[in-house]
Amino acid sequence: MTVPNRQVRRTRARVLEAAHRLLADEGPDAVTHLRVAEAADVARATVYRHWPDRIDLLVDLLESGASPPVFEPPPGDDARARILAALGRASNNFDGELGRSLRLLLARADWDERFAHAKAAITGAGRAVLVGLLEEGRRSGDLVFEETPEVLVDRLLGPIVVRSLLFDDPVDEPYLESLVDAILGT
């Protein structure tokens, strides 16, 4: 991995930013070499040099946009509060632009290996964070449960996902609290 030039970094950043706007405004079909180049005020050939395949550009876009803050391990004292904060962060990310990226990732992963990798990385990371919080709570004695942590993650994350990604209903703080209490028995 050679570290890219300043010029290269600047160009990539400009292109990605333009592509990001295009994706957000007009959807994945609008992210073509031509339109991205025009929006970024960059030669079309330049876009081809960096991303010979349109799909690579889309994957880059989704990975850079959807990855970092989705399930960041939150600070806090007891396990319940930390889990609550993690779920709140997740639900905040699910609606809005990040939710759209996630849905796009889910759909494209069915037909394209590159999207599948990105999907696995992101969902895997999120799952790992929650599993970690649960195990930490069990070790510290804050939580007592019989099921595997993975099963509990399903039960905690699932309702939020269904509600925001499928039903387009809001998820607020009371909803999360009653969910956590019901699942974790706190």
Partner DNA sequence: CACGACATGATACACCTTGTCTCATGTGAG
Partner DNA sequence: CTCACATGAGACAAGGTGTATCATGTCGTG
In angstroms, rounded to a whole number, what is the distance separating the alpha carbons of residues 73 and 140?
Answer: 17
Q: Which one of 8, 13, 128, 162 is in contact with its own copies (CB under 8 A)? A: 162
Q: Computed from CA positions of residues 61, 118, 30, 35, in that sequence, does the dihedral angle turn out positive or negative?
A: positive
Nearer to DNA, 57 or 133 (CB): 57
Per-residue b/e over 60-81, b at no fewer than 16 CB within 10 Å? bbbbebbbeebbeebeeeebbe
CA distances, 1 to each of 4, 7, 36, 50, 119 (Å):
9, 17, 26, 15, 23
State the nearest-atom distance from the C-beta of 112 to its own copies, in Å.
7
CA–CA separation, 59 and 26 (whole Å)? 17
**Contact indicator for 89, 99 with CB cutoff of 8 Å:** no
Binds 3, which of DNA, its own copies, none (CB < 5 to 8 A, cut-off by type)? none
Binding positions for its own copies, 92-111, rule CB under 8 A: 99-100, 103-104, 106-111
Residue 162 contact partner, candidates DNA, its own copies, none, CB within 5 to 8 A by sort of partner: its own copies
Taking the least distance from each CB to its own copies, the nearer of 12 and 157 is 157
Enter the tokens of residue 40.
Answer: 């970024």
**Closer CB to DNA, 38 or 177, in the complex:** 38
- Residue whose CB is less far from DNA, 30 or 161: 30
Amino acid at residue number 42: V
Name which position in 61, 179, 180, 184 contacts its own copies (CB under 8 A).
179
Kindly state the smallest distance separating residue 2's Cβ from DNA, in Å. Answer: 8
Interface with its own copies, residue 26, by CB under 8 A: yes
**Residues at the site binding DNA, with contacts judged by CB under 7 A:** 5-8, 10-12, 32-35, 41-46, 48-50, 52-54
User: CB-wise, 7 or 141, nearer to DNA?
Assistant: 7
